[in-house]
Amino acid sequence: LLFLWSITVSIFGIGGLLGSSGSRYLTVKFGKKKCLLCTNVLMIVAASIMGCSKMSQSFEMILIGRFMCGLSAGLCVPLHHQYVGEISPKKLRGFANSTSSFFWSLGKAVGQISGQRELLGSQSLWPVLMASCGFPALVQLVTLPFFPESPPYLLMHKDDLEGCKKAIRQLWGEGQHQAEIDDIMKEKATMKNTKILSVLELVKEPAFRWQLYMIVVLTATIQLCGINAV
């Protein structure tokens, strides 16, 4: 039982690692909007599997559902921040990215509160708790089709200037947006001369060694600073 419990808890992180590792390839090939829609579908399927696990008397369904949740979250975390930042006007970009971080924390807090035994963590309601992760995914799945694809993606990866202008007008309204388009073109020119490192190349690259150490230490110690308890 202890082994199964450990696997159930940790398999979410394994799925998250795999999902985040493949996020760059998928976003370049299919675009951020399509990838976000797919992650929502994956999360809804995972929620349905976990919600039906008690009825089916199958702990394997919880394992599968947790793994799929991890895959979805691993894809969604980098995608969500990128998409929100890229569709926001330049003057609101920092605010939009910091706001998304706030809502990540708020979602964790709501989930932990809902998991108390007095609420959805009871013996009869825990399948509802496990399936509840599908609700926000469903909301985004229904609303996201009304949003355009990321303008930088359309221009930098698809060379679709008209599509980029149309997306910008839909997001930011009518007006002069040539400065934003010029910025995207400059970024595209810079990326052509910049080598994109893989995870393995990043670990081996001496120039990024201290930055990598700093990120690893910060990410590891954040679990010890009391934020989970808060």
Confidence bin at 42 (pLDDT 50/70/90): very high
Contacting residues for 92 by C-beta, under 8 A, at least 6 apart: none
Same domain, 225 and 123: no
Same domain, 34 and 97: yes
Q: Is 188 part of a structural domain of the chain?
A: no
Same domain, 77 and 8: yes
Same domain, 141 and 205: no
Q: Is the pLDDT of residue 172 over 90?
A: no
pTM for this one?
Answer: 0.80
Q: Is 162 part of a structural domain of the chain?
A: no
Same domain, 19 and 106: yes
Alpha-carbon gap, residue 186 to 155, rounded angstroms: 11
How many Cβ atoms are within 10 Å of 74's Cβ, its own excluded? 23
Q: Is 46 part of a structural domain of the chain?
A: yes
Same domain, 140 and 200: no
Confidence bin at 208 (pLDDT 50/70/90): confident
Q: Is 34 exposed, middle or buried (0-12, 13-18, 19+ CB in 10 A)?
A: middle
Query: Which of residues 147, 171, 187 is at a domain's end?
Result: 147
pLDDT (0 to 100) of residue 230: 61
Query: Which of residues 147, 162, 181 is at a domain's end?
Result: 147
Alpha-carbon gap, residue 173 to 169, rounded angstroms: 5
Query: Picking from 75-84, 128-137, 197-206, which range would have the lowest pLDDT averaged per residue?
Result: 197-206
The residue segments making up the domain with residue 205 are 195-229
Same domain, 37 and 121: yes
pLDDT (0 to 100) of residue 227: 64
Confidence bin at 84 (pLDDT 50/70/90): confident
Query: Picking from 6-20, 62-76, 177-191, which range would have the lowest pLDDT averaged per residue?
Result: 177-191
Phi-psi region of 173 (alpha: psi -120 to 50; beta: other; left: phi over 0): left
The secondary structure of 6-44 as a DSSP string is HHHHHHHHHHHHHHHHTHHHHHHHH-HHHHHHHHHHHHH
- Note whether 167 and 151 are within 8 A (CB): yes
- Note whether 66 and 50 are within 8 A (CB): yes
* Mean model confidence pLDDT for the chain: 85
Q: What CATH number is attached to the domain comprising 134?
A: 1.20.1250.20
Same domain, 199 and 143: no
- Note whether 129 and 53 are within 8 A (CB): no
Q: Is 24 part of a structural domain of the chain?
A: yes
User: Count of domains in the chain?
Assistant: 2
Q: Is 33 part of a structural domain of the chain?
A: yes
pLDDT digits (tens, 9 = 90+) for 96-133: 888 877 888 888 888 888 888 888 888 888 889 889 98
Same domain, 134 and 205: no
Look-up of token digits 């201290």: 210
> Mean pLDDT over residues 170-185, rounded?
77
Same domain, 142 and 203: no
Look-up of token digits 């007008």: 169
